[in-house]
Amino acid sequence: MSLLLPTLAFILGWLTASWKSAEALKVFCSRILARFFIPFVIIYNMVYYQTGSLSLMLFSFSSAFLVYLGFVYFFKDRLIALCASYVNLAWLGFPFALAIFGHQISSAMIALYIGGSLFGNIWAVSAVSSAPQNTASLMKKVSLSPPVIALIISAILRLLHVQNFQEPNWVLHLYQFAKVGMVFTGMCVLGMWLRHTQVAKADLWHSVRVMLPKLVFGGVICSVSYYFIPVEAFKEYIGLMFFLFCLPPAANIVALETHYQGTGYSARYIAAGTIVSIGIILLYGLVWRLLKG
């Protein structure tokens, strides 16, 4: 997957953001991304399981939790901590990961996405809400989220030994289509979203101040994982693992904040963080390509 597709999708989203039908198009792209493309790619990769996926899920979940705790301690602000730890693996993470590392990392990226998504679904509500959360309702919300439903379907299919059957051509073609659709819709929504978001210099500077310690956290966590935890997947995907710490806050944080607190402070963090992250990701991708020759 080259940089051409995500770039064209982002430009298209930016240009169509001024159309009268832009909001409906944004909702459509977001829904098909969250409810079809990503779940289908999850199911495919979990059914045709690759060794190391579970360890990468645990890494993604654990590292997000550690970043959250670290930022709560240093910044004394749960919203900032959530924006640093719950990252945009869907709309922005997948397109750039495929562009930088190639399509062969899709299964590893799915595993990392599942771990991060589980963290976000479990932790985001309690982080943005000042009221205590009912455990039963929280667990219901998590269990009905698309990534978890996709995992349940994957588990059922594996119990039925679907992975041992001859893989139909139409399934493989649909998987290839879903990967392209995931990149296209994600970057298109990002372009439409950023077109109408006002970002001040102070917001960008704040995002830089948040990004720098997050990259330090990422360097420490990835170094410990690489050198002291004997998991082969960590050796193979260490570049992709550090990539997680370059990503901006998840876009749905602002929706949760608005619902539970009636405020939208995180919108500025998300917009500015996305701009800063894109710069960091492009620089990281260039360095990675140079190192890999």
Q: For residue 221, what pLDDT is reported?
A: 97
Residues of the chain with pLDDT under 50: 1
Confidence at residue 234, expressed as pLDDT on a 0 to 100 scale: 95
Give the Cα-Cα-Cα angle 202, 207, 210 (nearest 5 degrees).
130
Q: Letter for the amino acid at 293?
A: G
**Residue 269's pLDDT is what?**
87
Is 108 in contact with 56 (CB distance < 8 Å)?
yes
Q: Which spans in the chain are helix H?
A: 4-16, 22-32, 38-47, 53-75, 78-85, 94-101, 106-128, 135-143, 146-159, 169-195, 201-228, 232-236, 238-243, 253-261, 266-292
Q: What is the pLDDT of residue 1?
A: 47
| Report field, pTM of the whole predicted structure over 0.75 | yes
Quick one: pLDDT at residue 93? 87
Please state, in angstroms and rounded to a whole number, the distance separating the CA atoms of residues 157 and 152: 9
- The count of structural domains within the chain is 1
Give residue 239's pLDDT. Answer: 95
Range of the domain at 199: 4-292
Q: How far apart are CA 140 and CA 124, in angstroms?
A: 14
Q: Rounded distance, CA 127 to CA 172, Å?
A: 39
